[in-house]
Amino acid sequence: MPDLLTHALVAYTLAVGLSVRYRWLTPPYVTVAMMGAFIPDLTKIRLLVPSWRLEAWLGLPFDWGALHTVGGTLVSVLLGVTVVRRTDRWRVSGLLGVGAGSHLVLDSLLAFPAGRMKFVLWPLTTYRPVFDGLFLSTDRWPVVVAAGVAASAWYLRYHRGSADT
């Protein structure tokens, strides 16, 4: 999968782009969108606590991989929104969703040997469309492109002379 830096840079670019339209979207809110890009990779907690161990402790079927799907990401966003002030919940939920959604979209563009898209659409569907993918998880060019686009967005939004800044 694209590395975390790529996910953060894509979320940054999207949030900075949205900040042109929405004046309330200040740099702290841009950071919230970047944090949202890390939500699907909460599945990495399986390195510390394997799914089978949590399954035995809960007595219910459990798999950390569900967090890397639309349904698991939605639940994570809803849980994350509960720790912010009531007045900011809609904004934070939207920005966490933008970051997490961009993560899932990037991961769905990966090329897999089976020639099928990654399983990210659960619980909407378990279907995995046939898709050759745009890049491998080992490719370095996505982070280079994301860094270039993010730097351009940063410059255009915060350092280009304009009447609204």
CA distance 38 to 24: 23
Measured between alpha carbons, how far is 150 from 141 in angstroms, rounded to an integer? 14
pTM of the model: 0.88
- Answer whether 34's CB lies under 8 Å from 96's CB: no
Q: How many CB atoms lie within 10 A of CB 151?
A: 13
Q: Where are the domains of the chain?
A: 4-158
Output the tens digit of pLDDT for each of the chain's 165 residues. Answer: 568 999 999 999 999 999 999 999 999 999 999 999 999 999 999 999 999 999 999 999 988 988 999 999 999 999 999 999 999 999 999 999 999 999 999 998 988 888 888 777 778 788 888 888 888 888 899 999 999 999 999 999 988 755 554
